[in-house]
Structure 1
Amino acid sequence: MSTQEQAVAVARRLLIDGQLVETGRTLASLDPATGEIYGYAPEAGVAEVDAAVAAARRAFDETDWATNAEFRAHCLDQLHTALRANLEELRALTIAEVGATKALTHANQLETPIEIVRYYADLLKSYDFTEDLGNIEVRGQQHHRWVEKEAAGVVAAIAAYNYPHQLAFAKLAPSLAAGCTVVLKGAPDTPLATLAIGEIIANHTDIPAGVVNVLASSDIEVGKRMTTHPEVDVVTFTGSTPVGRQIMAAASGTLKKVFLELGGKSAAIVLDDADFSLAAMFASFSIVTHAGQGCALTTRLLVPRKDHDRMAELVAGNFAHVKHGDPNDPATYMGPLISEQQREKVDGLVKRAVEAGATLVTGGEKLNPGFFYAPTLLANVDPDSEIAQEEVFGPVLALIPYDDDDDAVRIANNSIYGLSGAVFGADSERAKAIARRIRTGTFSINGGNYFSPDAPFGGYKQSGIGREMGRVGLEEFLQLKTLAEVLP
């Protein structure tokens, strides 16, 4: 390793059992806006997983972390303060490694996720871990019953690359609030962003050794070990649905509690009485947010058949105003895709869509340097085609005509996914009625924003199992114990 590589690797180390450690192996991290190497992280192997899980097990079994809610609230308060204090360093790291625009780091890429920690620190101060069920009479005696909500145990948390801070804190904060201990692994494309969290925990909080362990690795065996380790009680994963299926199957060997936040192919329905300019703006600028690398983005735009061409013109006009380029530039709206591999996947899907009969209205080209891809609109899309069914994870919008409200609902629900969606219409009751018929875990009506730390987030069908954030996000990491005693 060169001197520069060593300096970067030392700055971002693994966190295992309270110690920031090296492994002697490095994982390169690229700046997706340039395609150049940005830094290096130590790469974990199976041995590091075993050490991290052992540390988490000891911390859960041998300390009072799981039972001392007041101390946990104190530590989450500290973590929130430390994250805010290191905000600009984290912002620079997120822009460079994730390819997020500077504007986005002021929202869902960084600052909003930090407030998830604040939310759970506050919730912990009022959350009742005991529920009284009252008394019942059994064979002439009074029996008092109650439920105690206990920490589920050791958590293996695996995050994706697209929103590394959001995904890390949506797992880490509620699991710590619940009293669990955690082994967190970041994505191999964005290892430094996740390791920075471990460094802040080690240097600026009273979180005991072993309670949080943070790893980085591109080794598939690391993920397998985390999800099958006999000392892991809970697995939480964010990523693709195919990988989610594998994780669910792997965890079944030891019947671990599993919850998954997976893919999406969300539809935005534009009703015939909608404000078409508003709907077009929402759809256009949503799909290019973080270059379309968001599982809940509305990637299918459903419009009345008679208005199809009008909507195509509006969206194409909006795409023409999307500025892409240096994510550090405050004027940049769209950053790059995460890698050349992802860009090739997106380009292949677009090319096959055109071959299958979709109309390429605009876009469909790679932009250099880095891993940029032009905002792309495909019109006259068959709702059963690959581009309408497969998650693209790029700035590609599929425009699909429909005949009436029932047809729009049918098309929107014609997916293995059920993560999110949207509807636009002047009649609020009609729009809400449509929303209630779509089988998804989140939904926006006329641009309503459902995304915040107190709102449960997750999906139906193959978009996942369980919910992150909100009170229910805490309860995903709890086990319920029902107790009863005979009264004198």
Structure 2
Amino acid sequence: MPFRPVYSLLLKPPLRSLSPSVSFYRMASSQAAARFGLKDSSLIKTQGLIDGKWLDAKDGSTILVTNPATNEELGTIPEMGLAETKEAIDAAAKAFPSWSKTTAKARHDILMKFYALMNEHHEDLSRIITLENGKTLAEGKGENTYSASFMEWFAEEALRTYGEQIPSPLPGVRNVVIKQPVGVVAILTPWNFPSAMITRKLGAALAAGCTTVIKPPPETPFSALALAELARRAGVPDGVINMVTTEKNVRDVGKEMCESKIVKKVSFTGSTPVAKLLAGMAATTLKKVSFEAGGNAPFIVFDDADLDEAIAGAVICKFRSSGQTCVCANRIYVHSGIYAEFASRLAEKVASFKVGNGLEESTTHGPLIHGRAVEKVSRHIDDAVSKGAQILVGGKAVPNSNFFNPTILSDVPADALLNQEETFGPLAALVKFETEDEVIKLANATDVGLAGYFFSRDVGRAWRVAEKLEVGMVGINTGLLSQSVIPFGGIKESGLGREGGHGIAEYMNEKLMVFGGI
């Protein structure tokens, strides 16, 4: 899954870097704000944030950020490196003693103000997401609402970080357990949800009393930087949130975040191969980690399913954000008895989609993030077709663009590449099955296990299949899972830990205090 994670660039040379003069950089900053067309142009920041100060890279170099729908320049951000990363970590460490000692109620109030500001600037934040990511404005608005919900949820969780008293078998002894923030947290996020993937981590970290160093993706940095600006307006003290932007120095930055003895936890969303690299680095200090890594979600339609619900579920699950979500259906298994009808009706629905600029009201699906993502979808289609699959709808990229026509393949063979790799694009691959045991075996035949889905009206089967699927999350008669209140995460090679829900625990240490002489 090399096109979702920010850390794909660990394995690839940088594609974009500039070294303009400082005066040019300042002019570009104001131009960037104008290009977004916001009500509050001060939300557009073109510098990194360290210890409350907006800063350029020390050597003045920058990264060019473009709109994937038009390839037009949006602005530039600093190409920071190891030195800036160390400064950010030191700033977070300096801010930690005072922030960690604030009351849970004080952190709650600041996070609730942050939440209110995200709602107040809903239109602007949504527009930023659409312009830099490419998803439709409706999806951008949905993401901002989802993103803000983490601030509200973790504001409330700050007040629920309860300890406990454990009765002792020894006379005169009392056992008390308290929870304390782990310390400085490094946060590394992907481009597919440029806002929500930050707040899901940042909200928990702030609520726990941790300070943070964030490396946003170079493809979609402006959403992250806008959040940092709103955090300052909400009253988050200097140094509690620091942002280091980089592309070509990502290896050095990531290594420092993982190996620094000052950093006590690393939270990453991205691919499984990169999660393994980061885990190895983090192991040098045995720091806490939480990784939401690769997925390859099965989507099963049994012969007793409500077909209207199953088709609607497939559309939202597979084609949301043009297939660029970590929990997208990647392998769609349909019982042979309903296969033809399901394929025909799904194809009819997908054929009505309109690909285009996300800001246009008639657009249903935006572009992929870049040309490498387009190439991967093409490669998966070519491989499947060469092995006998049939194209029902789509099948082609739009020339000289990042757009790919939503595609459905039927009769996809088991050895097709797309059954082993996550496509991360608007490609639905239909596979026929006969029995429940057969399809469970097919669904589980992967090293990863993030999400899975199935549709059936049999209550017994619902429990049986849900328990047998080797994934961290199961959608039963629904194609949507994501909510701020649930434990989000996978098993096998899909990662470690959980986000959302009670995810604040990932940012806290339990301390046992044994009192004698009582």
The TM-score range, normalised by the shorter chain, is over 0.9
When the two structures are superposed, what TM-score results if normalisation uses the length of structure 2?
0.89
Q: Do structure 1's residue 234 and structure 2's residue 270 form an aligned pair?
A: no
Letter matched to residue 451 of structure 1: S
Q: Do structure 1's residue 167 and structure 2's residue 190 form an aligned pair?
A: no
Please give the alpha-carbon distance, in whole angstroms, between the structure 1 residues aligned to 2:153 and 2:316.
28
Aligned residues of 1:33 and 1:369 also touching (Cα < 8 A): no
Q: State the partner residue of 1:455.
A: 486
Q: Do structure 1's residue 332 and structure 2's residue 363 form an aligned pair?
A: yes
| Residue 6 to residue 156, structure 1, CA distance change in 2 (3 Å) | same
1:448 CA drift (Å) = 6.4
Letter matched to residue 133 of structure 1: I
Letter matched to residue 123 of structure 2: E
Q: How does 1:404-443 map to 2 (within 5 A)?
A: 404-443=435-474
1:428 CA drift (Å) = 2.8
Q: How does 1:469-488 map to 2 (within 5 A)?
A: 469-471=500-502, 473-488=503-518
Q: State the partner residue of 2:156.
A: 122
Please give the alpha-carbon distance, in whole angstroms, between the structure 1 residues aligned to 2:136 and 2:517.
62
Please give the alpha-carbon distance, in whole angstroms, between the structure 1 residues aligned to 2:408 and 2:274.
28
Question: What is the RMSD computed on CA atoms of the aligned residues?
Answer: 1.8
**Paired-residue identity, %:** 33
Q: How does 1:117-196 map to 2 (within 5 A)?
A: 117-125=151-159, 127-137=160-170, 141-196=171-226
When the two structures are superposed, what TM-score results if normalisation uses the length of structure 1?
0.94
Q: How does 1:85-484 map to 2 (within 5 A)?
A: 85-107=120-142, 109-125=143-159, 127-137=160-170, 141-202=171-232, 204-218=233-247, 219-220=249-250, 221-368=252-399, 370-447=401-478, 449-471=480-502, 473-484=503-514
| Residue 470 to residue 408, structure 1, CA distance change in 2 (3 Å) | same
1:163 CA drift (Å) = 0.4
Please give the alpha-carbon distance, in whole angstroms, between the structure 2 residues aligned to 1:357 and 1:250.
43
5+ residue gaps, structure 2: 1-19, 34-43
| Residue 43 to residue 86, structure 1, CA distance change in 2 (3 Å) | farther
1:385 CA drift (Å) = 2.9
Aligned residues of 1:57 and 1:181 also touching (Cα < 8 A): yes
Aligned residues of 2:212 and 2:240 also touching (Cα < 8 A): yes
How many pairs does the alignment contain? 480
Q: State the partner residue of 2:85.
A: 49
- Counterpart selection for 2:61 from 5, 8, 25: 25
Q: Which has the higher strand share?
A: 1
Letter matched to residue 13 of structure 1: Q
Q: Do structure 1's residue 12 and structure 2's residue 46 form an aligned pair?
A: yes
Please give the alpha-carbon distance, in whole angstroms, between the structure 2 residues aligned to 1:16 and 1:64.
16
Aligned residues of 2:319 and 2:328 also touching (Cα < 8 A): no
1:417 CA drift (Å) = 1.5
1:237 CA drift (Å) = 0.3
Q: Deviations over 1:181-225 (max 9, x none)?
A: 1101111111111111112223x0221211111122112222222
Aligned residues of 1:191 and 1:217 also touching (Cα < 8 A): no
Letter matched to residue 12 of structure 1: T
1:361 CA drift (Å) = 2.2
Aligned residues of 1:456 and 1:469 also touching (Cα < 8 A): yes
Aligned residues of 1:326 and 1:335 also touching (Cα < 8 A): yes
| Residue 128 to residue 287, structure 1, CA distance change in 2 (3 Å) | closer
SS at match of 1:52: helix
Letter matched to residue 53 of structure 1: I
Aligned residues of 2:393 and 2:407 also touching (Cα < 8 A): yes
